[in-house]
Structures are given as structure tokens and as C-alpha cells.
Chain A
């Protein structure tokens, strides 16, 4: 759920090449045989009662939540879901070898460019037939997110969560702060917090992806959704004055961020908010996981990033969406289709949300009556948005974001001067990557 820190080392270049060379791609997706061994190894190609599913939900909370969905599916259809769970980061690092080998019938993945990439490489199965049945459950923004570049559907969204500025209600009440809705108010609030001996904005960028979230907010508030999309797609130039403007605004806000961000994980930064040492924190709603004390969690609230350009207001919301895709040639296609249809129902989403209340349903049909106040707010924010973005590393080429943007943004955070040379370096590197 937490995007992609580049994670731990797995196979090196040579090993990978070699394995593929001797037709061993299957060996790398080693979880598959392993899994079928523990889940009834007799289940072979012809078995219509089993669907295999590759999962990256290795954390306890989501793992259990998904298991409950599959149990409900079995009760309804009589089809067993054979789950092959891999460590979250390992799953992402191996995804392209996994999909080229013998992938499971259905697998967990993310919406946005990351989904479209595998769709356009022919590694996923179009599921327009599934969408004929489940289409009515989803708002248009979700439909758009589930389509490949060719207009076909490839993805069933399950849950989503917005990025916003988080704060503690008790701190705001005690000091008499008001939720800022414009840039000037935000800066004024930061100044006031500094006077009150608070760190205005908690920040940790050790994993190199959180800074992308700040960039996204600043960019679509300043330049609007369309420009943001063009920039992420490699079409707009990073040396454009519009991008320069974003970094200028960021330089203005950066002094109010927590010091030493590059050496701090997001979990540690979240602790500064939890312990009331920081006033605000820009992150996704999963920040709630770090609030282990129920009282503290109830005290947590958030607001949308303030308006910068009135032309765009607060119409864009960053809401990464997770869900499922079908692999290119599933062994049990009929069963996989049934499972995808089930996953697209509001019931499946409700089962999930009961166990993991840090996210909200992708479907507008899901019952929101059991939502916590924070979930309700997140749901309203997303359903009221004119456009939804995913996240920089889900909206753009992952090789560009991980090898160019992550180090570049860390450099900028460390030393906000020299923006121009940084931007032209990004642009030069972008050109070669997008050309390949």
C-alpha cells in the first residue's frame, strides 16, 4: 500500500538474464510452485474450482482482510482462491519477471501508468466483460483509472486513499489555528506555528518517495491537472517556467519543514505529529497506522492542500488506488472472471474496509455507514474531486521516477538553491529515458 521504496536487492542483472536465457523465467516466479504445494498441489490447469492469485499484501492487516474476501467468494461461488503472498516490495521488484513467467490467474496491482505499462506490453488480460457487469458500481474517475491506453479495461479497483495535510484537532483547538485554504494562509500558519515552538510541517524522505507527494500537490495546485499529467507522461518540459514556479513555491515552504528529512523515515516523521511536536504532515491516510493509541487516532484530522491558483482551486485530489489485474493467459479464465466480478462488488470492498479502516472503498455503492469520521471525510474528498491523480511513481514511468526523480528531489530538499541546473539535468535525463 505504501508505494514503492526501491526496496531490497533481489536478482542481479546477470542472474536474471541467465535464468531467462535458459528458459528459467518460471523459476523466478518461484512462489507459484511453492504455493500450489501448500494449497492443494493437485490443482492443475484443468481445475475449474480454483483460481490462483498473486498477492503483495504481506502486512498482517491487509492480508487478513483479503483472506476474508476470498472466503466470502468461496461461499458464494464454490471457487477456492489459492493465494500466493509475497513480500510487498519483493513483489513489485519482481513483477515484470513474474508476469513473463507463469503468473497467477489474478494479481494485485496499482491503477494508473503502472497498470497501463503492463497492459501495453501484453502482460495483462483485457476485462471489458467484467466491466460490463461491475461498471455501474464505480464513478467515472475510477473507470478512467482502470483503462489502458487502448481504451480497454484492465483493472478492478478495490480501495483508495487520499493524500492531504494531517493535523491534530486538539493542537489546532488549543492554539486557535484555522485550517488554511489558500497559500498565504498556509504560510502564515507555518509562521505562527514556528513562533509557538512547533515544527510546522513534519517531513521524512529517507525512502525517497514522500517528497514526490509534495511535488504532486504543488504542481497540480499551481498548474492544474492537465499540465501535471503531461509532465508525468514526459510530454511537458521540466525546464518550463511552470515547473520552475512549483520549485520556487516549494523553496518558500521548505524552511517550515522538519529539518534533516533525508535521514528520516515517514514513520518517524509521523511520530512527530503523533507526539504533538509537529503541527501538520503531508501524507496519505495510511499515516493513521502510526497512531497506535486510539485516542490519538480519533484526534487526527486532515484538510486538502490549500489553493494556489484560483483557476484550479482544490479540484484535484491525489488518491492512489489499489486493485487487481488478470494475467495474460490465466489457467482458469472463467473462474478468474468470476473472481474479478466479485472483487468489483461493493460487498467485497466492505469486507476489506471492516478490517482495514485506513482506506476507503473505490466504489460509490459501498456502504459508508460504518465509516470512521476520517474515512467519511476521505470518501467525500475523493468523490467530490474533479480529477484524481495516483502518485508520481504511479503516474509516470517507474524507471524515470526511481532513477531520476527520487535522487533529484532529495538533492533539492537538501539544497534548494541551484534549481535551474537541477531541472535541466532532469529534463536531459528524461529525454533519454522516454526515448528508449
Chain B
């Protein structure tokens, strides 16, 4: 299952390279002058320039990825290589049937994605459309909404804790919900904490989406607007039937970015409450199992593999469709 995804992007690559005729012609010409132009030293330099990054890439990305996949079928406490024991699918069996945190974590990752698509994304689009109208103080608004994106998620976690802290936080102090009897536990209550964190995540994501859409809107041909105005379309009709369809490439980028955000969600939650009840995430389960004095590296790797498979399932169709488009072009 894991090998097909890694092959398919490569399988898809050759056509675009060999497709355009101009490119092949160039490629055929270059080697002739090549031999004369390049001294041995040049070749060595080029070899190093291409070789070193390749070695680093293979070692840091591919070897480690495959090592994690291999380790997912073992148990290992991280001490000495001789303590690695092969256990087949036991880790996965344990994970799917016996880990009370696994399914909630999968569910929360999905909720994370759906929430980001449904709330901050339309909101970002809305803000972008408003700002695109060249309203007054446009730059001030732009800066204000984009500011959270500049901050690290870990910092955002600290900031929002000041707001959510059930005893001394802003919200509970204002509404008096820090008294016994009518106590609201934003951070500890599993029915609330995920949503509390999602609001913080959305606060940042909105700005991100806004900037992406703003860039997309700048690319819309002004003559389109003109034409639709001439046809008598009102603002909403223009947006719905003319502008939005031209934002298609931006929408694809937004979708991919949001999926990635949902899958890598980690720092905010870790700072907030370390993935306690109600905020379990796959990335946090991986960390909790692997970091520590006596770690369950095999088990943690198994969770990482699940995360990898989910990522691939999402990303492969995207890559395939992108490469198809390129081939057609």
C-alpha cells in the first residue's frame, strides 16, 4: 500500500519532460558543447552541488521515512540496536483495537480539517473580497488580519491560554464563569477544548486564507468585471458567476494548504494542553510515544505510518491531477 504512492509521482514525471518538443531539442544540443565546456573541475563541482543535496535528501527524507515504516513493525525502547524486536502487525492491531486515544485522534484531525474549510476559509475569502475593493484604511486591515499568521503557533497557544485560562483568563473573568457551581473549563472539558483551540487556529488561518485569496483576486482580469457590469450583473452575481470561477487555481492551493494544516496540527495543541482528553491528535500521539526516557519507538512509528498513509491518500490525487494538467499544457 505504501509503495504505490511513492512510485506514482515518479511514474507521472517522464511524460512532461519528454512531451514538449522544444525541450527535447535543447536537451539534445547541450551535451555536444558540454564536453568541451566543462573541465574536470567543473564536473566535480557540479557533481558535488548535485550530489551532496541528493545524498542529504535521500538520507534525511527517504531513509528516515523508510526506517520509520520498518520500525512500525517492531518494538524498540530506543536503547541499543539489539533491543529491536520484530512483531509484525502487532503495533497496528494494538493501535486499532486497544488504544483509547487513537480513534478520537483520527476524528479530531478530520474535525480540524472540516472546521478550517468551513469557517476561516470563507471568512478569509470574504475579507479578501472586501479589501480588494480598495476601501479606506485597506492596508491597516490587511496588516491586522495578517498579523496572526506571522506569529508562531506556539506563541498563539500561549496568547490564547491567557484568554481561556479557566481561573484567571479573560473570558471567565468577564462572564464570571470561574466560580464553583457555574465553572466553564475551556481547556479541560472535552466538549469544549477542541473548539476553543480551533477558534485560536481559525484566528490565524483566516489571515492566511485572506492573503492567498487577495493574491488570487489581484490576478483577476479587470475587463471581466467591466464586462459583467456592462451585462448588468450586480455585485453578488459578478462574484458568484465571474470572479469566483476564475479563482479556481487559488481554491486548489487553499484546499491543499488546509489539508496540510489539518494533518500537521500539533504545536498549538501541545502548548495548550498537550493533547489531553478531547484534543488528541495523531501528531501528538506520535510524539508522546517516541519522546521520553524509555520510549515506544515501534509503536510511535506505527502511528506515524498511519499519518503518512492518510497524507498520501490526500496528496496523491492532487499530484496526479496536477501532472495531468501539465501534460495537457
Contact = CB atoms under 8 A, between A and B. Distances in A.
Contacts of B167: 264, 268, 271-272
Interface string B239-272: 0000000000000000000000000001100100
Contact of A18 (B63, B85, B289): B63
Contacts of B295: 96, 399
Contact of A206 (B187, B190, B266, B267): B187
Interface stretch (B41-49, B73-81, B315-323): B73-81
Interface in B267-302: 267, 270, 273-274, 276-277, 280, 286-298, 300-301
A232 interface: no
Given A17-B68, A208-B276, A436-B75, A260 B292 contact: no
A93 B99 contact: no
Interface stretch (B126-134, B178-186, B200-208, B212-220): B178-186
Contact of B67 (A9, A18, A205, A429): A18
Interface string A379-400: 0000000000000000001110
A410 B104 CA distance: 15
B275 to A, nearest CB: 9
B234 interface: no
A297 B60 CA distance: 53
B193 to A, nearest CB: 7
A259 B183 contact: yes
A95 to B, nearest CB: 5
Contact residues of B: prevailing secondary structure: loop
Given A10-B291, A260-B185, A429 B64 contact: no
A221 to B, nearest CB: 27
Given A96-B78, A397-B294, A206 B273 contact: yes
Q: Which of B100, B183, B190, B266 has the most CB of A within 10 A?
A: B100
A425 interface: yes
Contacts of A262: 185, 187-189, 273, 276-277
A414 B277 contact: yes
Contacts of B298: 436
A410 to B, nearest CB: 5
A429 B99 contact: yes
Contacts of B209: none
A428 interface: yes
A359 B292 CA distance: 26
A17 B71 contact: yes
Given A121-B79, A399-B77, A410-B276, A9 B188 contact: no
A13 B185 contact: no
A342 to B, nearest CB: 27
A93 B276 contact: no
B278 to A, nearest CB: 8
Contacts of B188: 205-206, 260-264, 414
Nearest to A262: B188
Interface in A356-406: 397-399, 402-403
Contacts, number: 161
Nearest to A432: B94
A247 B193 CA distance: 26
B2 to A, nearest CB: 15
Given A6-B288, A117-B294, A414-B188, A13 B300 contact: yes
A114 B98 contact: no
A151 interface: no
Contacts of B267: 9
Contact of B98 (A10, A117, A428): A428
B59 interface: yes
A266 to B, nearest CB: 12
A21 B293 contact: no
B168 interface: yes
B64 A15 contact: yes
Contact residues of A: prevailing secondary structure: helix
B290 A398 contact: no
Contacts of B266: 9
Interface string A1-41: 00011111111111111100110000000000000000000
A16 B188 CA distance: 32
A403 B289 contact: yes
A114 B294 CA distance: 9
Contacts of A11: 291
Interface string A93-111: 1011100100000000000
A407 B276 contact: yes
Given A264-B167, A398-B293, A432-B98, A97 B78 contact: yes
Interface in B44-90: 59-60, 63-65, 67-68, 71, 75, 77-80, 85, 87, 90
B277 A407 contact: yes
Nearest to A121: B79
B120 interface: no
Contacts of B238: none
A92 interface: yes
B207 to A, nearest CB: 24
B173 interface: no
A241 to B, nearest CB: 22
B304 interface: yes
B101 interface: yes
A100 B294 CA distance: 12
Contacts of B294: 96, 117, 397-399
Contacts of A143: none
A268 B183 contact: no
A294 B291 CA distance: 39
A123 B185 contact: no
A22 B59 contact: yes
B124 interface: no
A46 B198 CA distance: 57
Given A17-B68, A17-B71, A429-B99, A260 B296 contact: no
A433 interface: yes
B148 interface: no
A74 interface: no
Nearest to B187: A263
Given A410-B277, A432-B98, A199 B79 contact: no
A93 B293 CA distance: 6
18 contacts: A5-B274, A6-B291, A13-B64, A13-B300, A17-B67, A17-B71, A18-B59, A18-B60, A96-B78, A96-B79, A259-B185, A262-B187, A262-B189, A268-B168, A399-B77, A399-B295, A403-B288, A436-B85
Top 4 A-B pairs ranked by shortest CB distance?
A: A262-B188, A263-B188, A14-B64, A263-B187
Interface of A: 4-18, 21-22, 92-93, 95-97, 100, 114, 117, 121, 123, 199, 205-208, 258-264, 268, 271-272, 397-399, 402-403, 407-408, 410-411, 414, 425, 428-429, 432-433, 436
Given A407-B101, A407-B277, 4 more contacts: A4-B292, A14-B65, A100-B80, A264-B187
